Amino acid sequence: MTASPSSRFESLPDSPFPRLNALIEGIEPGKPPLVMSLGEPQHPFPKFVMEEISRNSALFGKYPPIVGTAEFRNAAAGWLGRRYGIAAAVGKGRALDPETQILPVNGTREALFNIAQIATPPEKAGKRPAILMPNPFYQCYAAAALAAGAEPVYIAATRETGFMPDFEALPEELLARTAMIYFCSPANPQGSVASLGYLKRLIALAREHAIVLAIDECYADIYDREPPAGALEAALGMDAKGGDPFTNIIVFHSLSKRSSLPGLRSGFCAGERALMQRFRNFRNIAAPQVPLPLMAASAACWNDDAHATANRELYRAKIDAAERVLGNRFGFYRPPGGFFLWLDTGDGEKAARELWAKAGVKVLPGAYLSREDSPYGPGGNPGAAYIRVALVGGVAETEEALARMAEVL
Give tens-digit pLDDT for 343-374. Answer: 999 999 999 999 999 999 999 999 999 998 77
Q: What is the mean pLDDT of residues 254-282?
A: 97
**Residue 278: per-residue pLDDT:** 98
Q: How far apart are CA 272 and CA 180, in angstroms?
A: 14
CA dist 385 and 348 (Å) reads: 5
Q: Which of these CATH numbers, 3.90.1150.10, 3.40.47.10, 3.30.70.260, 3.30.1700.10, describes 5-44+307-408?
A: 3.90.1150.10
pLDDT in tens, 73-85: 999 999 999 999 9
Q: Which residues contact 159 (CB under 8 A, 6 or more apart)?
A: 331
Q: What is the mean pLDDT of residues 308-329?
A: 96
> Does residue 376 register a pLDDT over 80?
no
Mean pLDDT of 48-56: 98
pLDDT tens digits for range 132-191: 999 999 899 999 999 999 999 999 999 999 999 999 999 999 999 999 999 999 999 999
The ranges of the chain annotated as CATH 3.90.1150.10 are: 5-44+307-408
- Write down the pLDDT at residue 1: 45
Q: What is the pTM of this model?
A: 0.94
- For residue 191, report the phi and psi dihedrals to the nearest 5 degrees: 75, 10
CATH 3.40.640.10 in the chain is located at 61-305
pLDDT score at 6: 58
| Residue 271 confidence (pLDDT) above 80 | yes
Topology (CATH) of 61-305: Aspartate Aminotransferase; domain 2 (3.40.640)
Burial of 49 per CB tally in 10 Å (0-12, 13-18, 19+): buried
For the stretch 2-5, contacts whose Cβ atoms lie closer than 8 Å and that sit 24 or more positions apart, written own/partner, are: 3/149
Alpha-carbon span 139 to 161, nearest angstrom? 21
Strand stretches in 273-385, DSSP E: 340-344, 361-362, 364-365
Residue 240 vs residues 71, 176, 208: alpha-carbon distances, Å: 29, 19, 11
Give the pLDDT of residue 143. Answer: 94
Average per-residue pLDDT for the chain: 94
Q: What integer pLDDT is reported at residue 91 of this predicted model?
A: 46
pLDDT at 243 over 50: yes
User: What whole-number distance in Å separates Cα of residue 88 and Cα of residue 90?
Assistant: 7
Amino acid identity of 263?
Answer: G
